[in-house]
Amino acid sequence: MFTGLIEEIGNIKNIAHGSKSCKITITAKKVLADVKLGDSIAVNGTCLTVVDYGVDYFTADVMPETVKRTVLAKLNNGDVVNLERTMALGDRFGGHIVSGHIDGLGEIVNMKKDDNAIVITIKASSSVIKYIIEKGSVAIDGISLTVVSVDAEKFAVSIIPHTVAMTNLHYKNPGDYVNIETDVIGKYVERLMNFDNQKPTSTSKINLEFLAKNGF
């Protein structure tokens, strides 16, 4: 589990593309302090497993499902990415619950100054938008942010200067795509509320009435 508080930004050192997957090597420093093979690191909000590492880099495999749902395969050598290690037991919980499982992509359609803040408007699909609420939490490229407005096609977040300076948002422009992870609690609530309606209708003639009539 992650919190959406970015620890550092890294740079793409190399991307090796397969037919449907890829392998990414990223330069880093802080997130490598206690790294081990098999550890999880969120890269632009995507939970990836460390398969190799050195003094100033780590490598992760990106499977086809992750390639389809995220911006990772669209990155190029030298691109900046947000990095966060998994939350350690006993750490302060400063952001919100971030699983590292991306729901979909969003396109930045507008960035404007609002005094000391930057308001970023992002267009997303209806399958993503339906889980976003005003004043709710959303992870954009792994950054825990608060939604300031939302409609049927897009939503906006307001960013303070510190967040811009410490994340890849400093390098973003309208037209760029970002990973979006919505609040996991909303998805579980929807699943529980709709579960009974999704149960298959039984066509069997064996029921309590049938068993009683036949001596059981």
Domain ranges of the chain: 8-85, 104-198
8-85 CATH, one of 3.60.9.10, 3.20.20.220, 2.40.30.20, 3.30.70.890? 2.40.30.20
CATH class of 104-198: mainly beta
197 or 5, which is more confident: 5
Domains 8-85 and 104-198 share a fold: yes
In sequence order, what are the beta bridge partners of 154? 123
Contacts of 16 (CB under 8 A, 6+ apart): 22, 23, 24
CA distance 41 to 57: 12
What does pTM read for this prediction?
A: 0.85
Q: Return the minimum-mean-pLDDT range out of 80-94, 129-143, 187-201.
A: 187-201
What is the pLDDT at residue 204?
62
CA distance 144 to 152: 21
What is the pLDDT at residue 81?
98
pLDDT tens digits for 168-204? 999 999 999 999 999 888 888 888 888 777 666 556 6
Burial (0-12, 13-18, 19+ Cβ within 10 Å), 62: buried
User: What are the helix (H) ranges across the chain?
Assistant: 64-69, 126-129, 161-166, 184-194, 208-213
- Closest by CA to 48, choosing from 78, 83, 16, is 83
